[in-house]
Amino acid sequence: MSSLQSLDIAKRSATTTPSTQARKTIEVAKLIDVSSCIGCKACQVACMQWNDLRDDVGDNHGTYDNPRDLTPQSWTVMRFSEVEVEKDKLEWLIRKDGCMHCEDPGCLKSCPAPGAIVKYSNGIVDFISEHCVGCGNCVTGCPFDVPRISKVDSKAYKCSLCSDRVGVGLEPACAKACPTGAIRFGTKEDMLDYGAERVTDLKERGYGNAGVYDPQGVGGTHVVYVLQHADKPELYHGLPADPKISPLVSLWKGAAKPLAVAAMIGAAVAGFFHYTRVGPIESKDETPDSEPADKV
């Protein structure tokens, strides 16, 4: 994708000065109601169509997941999990996987290329491909294992939440195509309200642990799920229970780096002052007037 409105960029990768603050936009969110999903994959098709992506034809590996995983060409994938939360009561949990659009994005924090990853003030996290250098740090930083590096062009790819559509007042392609209303799009506030309603319904239907998945460890996300078993998100193809940016990533990209830069510059400056204050060590035969002789 490409950057739409520089005024609307709230966070920018590898940038130490503040982004534009003048204009505030309303935070958006996509709500995925797993309990209403029938696994038809219309969202996958709509994603391919809108974004002009065509993945290679994959292979069957005994589940309905197709393709097997997120790829540079498949920014969303339905994950089918067969689970028995209660004994002998099979449940088919179908989760639409893809970028969660974290409020505190680990990919953006890890990215060393200025402006290659941005977070718009509406909450969408977008890869600005022309600035991407292909280092793969976003993969290292993401708590959800979402970005994929292309083997063709070495650029990172993931769901853009159709930032181009949202920028002109449209809903994301997947939400547009969903036939059951399992994917909804709107302001984050509205989506959380709607999610809460769905949770009430589900609880009445016997799903006592139903809930909205909006993990606070990453500051909340702009893709939120309604889960029948919100107490066990791992059931949904390993959705992390408490995702957060790894402390290793925080250490690597936090205070340690500026301190290390200061140490390097400090060492060179200290050397200079040592030379000017203490002076060099000279040997006796190194007098300036002596003629250099031939080697032994």
Partner 1 sequence: MGIRYLPRYNAGERTNHWLIVLFFIGAALSGLAFFHPSLYFLSAFVGGGTWARILHPFMGLAMSLCFLVLFLKLWRHNVMNEADKEWLKHSGEMLRGDKSRMPPAGRYNAGQKQIFWIMVVSLAVLVVTGFMFWQPWFANAFPILLRRIAVVLHAASATVLVLSVIVHVYAAIWVKGTVRAMTRGTVTEGWARQNHALWHREMTGKQ
User: Which residues of this protein are in contact with partner 1, per CB under 8 A?
Assistant: 14-16, 112-114, 131, 133-137, 139-140, 145, 149, 151, 154, 246, 248-249, 251-252, 256-258, 260-261, 263-264, 267-268, 271, 274-275, 278-286, 290-296
CB of 249 to partner 1, least distance (A): 6
3-state secondary structure of 170: coil
For residues 112 and 133, the answer to whether their CB atoms sit within 8 Å is yes
Contacts of 241 (CB under 8 A, 6+ apart): 232, 233, 234
Closest CA to 11 of 219, 187, 170: 219
Q: Are 74 and 51 in contact (CB under 8 A)?
A: no
Cα–Cα distance, 110 to 60 (Å, whole number):
34
- DSSP type of residue 251: H
Q: Please identify, using beta-carbon distances, which residue of 131 and 198 lies nearer to partner 1.
A: 131
DSSP label of 141? H
> Of 92 and 275, which CB lies nearer to partner 1 in the complex structure?
275
Give backbone dihedrals phi and psi of 233, rounded to 5 degrees, phi first.
Answer: -60, -20
Supply the minimum distance, in Å, between the C-beta of residue 8 and partner 1.
21
CB of 260 to partner 1, least distance (A): 4
Q: What is the C-alpha separation between 225 and 34, in angstroms, rounded?
A: 7
Query: Which tokens is 163 given?
Result: 């930032």
Q: Which CB sits closer to partner 1, 205 or 274?
A: 274
Q: By C-beta, is 145 or 234 nearer to partner 1?
A: 145
Q: In whole angstroms, how close is the CB of 239 to partner 1 at the nearest point?
A: 16
**Cβ at position 171, least distance to partner 1 in Å:** 32
Compare residues 196 and 264 and give the one whose CB is closer to partner 1.
Answer: 264
Q: How far is the CB of 131 from partner 1 (least distance, A)?
A: 8
Choose between 16 and 60: whose C-beta lies nearer to partner 1: 16
